[in-house]
Amino acid sequence: MIEIKDLHKSYKMGSNSLHVLKGLNFNIKEGELVAIMGSSGSGKSTLLNILGMLDELDEGSYTLDGVPIKNLNETKAAQYRNKFLGFIFQSFNLINYKTAVENVALPLYYQGVNRKERQEKALKYLEQVGLKEWAGHLPSELSGGQKQRVAIARALAAEPKVLMADEPTGALDSQTSYEVMDLIQKINDDGNTILVVTHEPDIADMCKRIVHLKDGVIVEDKKVDQVRASQYV
């Protein structure tokens, strides 16, 4: 699903250049649930930005579902993001003046899905995250865990190839974190490819594979025995 070859990325800081990613190689197959771990400054956010087509790589290649991701203009990047990727953010990033169902329907709007179908699909995915009865509520009326579930429903709504979660539990308490991870695991069980960036080992352990980043290089890439979050819920 994702193929990264010899990926380099550096940022110019005045006259100095900061080499953030120093030649990464890895592949993610369909249906995987991968945790990308590392302390801050390890380059994990940069990697996610590049994978999410929010930033461009300097060297190397990135292929997503057989499509080389290179030299994209804004419009093309927007199309690919819409078609291939679903984002889940640490701070949920719901649009605060839109109701839960409107937030979930937004990526569908950008896909050009008609109003009725959008509404139906959005409700279906809200139901999947267990928030159907909260459809008409604004984000401000939801708890942190509920917001993240709405955000997950939104990411799912576009039916992307890969879900990218950037510290999805970073703003949640441990109990809610487990609930969210339980949901992510269930989505993964349905066959979705999911990438989770985290610095919390217990969250990483709930994935099937952990890629450990340190100072811009992969120091460890291992399969793990998945800890099911449902036992804590």
Partner 1 sequence: MFDRDIWQEIFHSIRSNKLRTFLTGFSVAWGIFILVLLLASVNGMQNGFYDQFNDNASNAVYIHSRTTSKAYAGFEKGRRIQFTNDDVDYIKGSFKGDFEFITPVFERSTSARYKEETGSYRVMAINNEHIFIQKVNISQGRYINKSDVVGGAKVAVIGKKVATDLYKKEDPLGKFIEINGLPFMIVGVFTDDKDEGAESMIYAPITTYQRIYSNTSDIDQIMLTYNPDFNLDEAMDFSNKITVLLKRRHKISPDDQAGLRIWNTAEAFNDIGQFTGILQIMSVVIGLLILIAGIVGIGNIMVFIIKERTKEIGIRKALGAKPKQIIMLVLLESVFITALSGLIGLLFATGLLSLVGPLMDAPAFKDPSVDMSTIIIATIVLVVAGMLAGLIPAIKAARVKPIVALSDK
Q: Which residues bind partner 1 (CB under 8 A)?
A: 45, 48-49, 52, 54-55, 74-75, 78-79, 81-83, 87, 89-91, 93-95, 97-98, 106-107, 109-111, 115, 154, 158, 166-167, 170
CB 225 to partner 1: min, Å: 29
CB 76 to partner 1: min, Å: 9
* Distance from C-alpha of 127 to C-alpha of 123, rounded to nearest angstrom: 6
CB 147 to partner 1: min, Å: 13
Measured from the CB atom, the residue of 161 and 185 that comes closer to partner 1 is 161
CB 97 to partner 1: min, Å: 5
Measured from the CB atom, the residue of 63 and 93 that comes closer to partner 1 is 93
Measured from the CB atom, the residue of 52 and 145 that comes closer to partner 1 is 52
Measured from the CB atom, the residue of 49 and 226 that comes closer to partner 1 is 49
Contact 147, 88 (CB under 8 A): no
* Distance from C-alpha of 45 to C-alpha of 52, rounded to nearest angstrom: 10
What the block records as the tokens of 14 is 């005045």
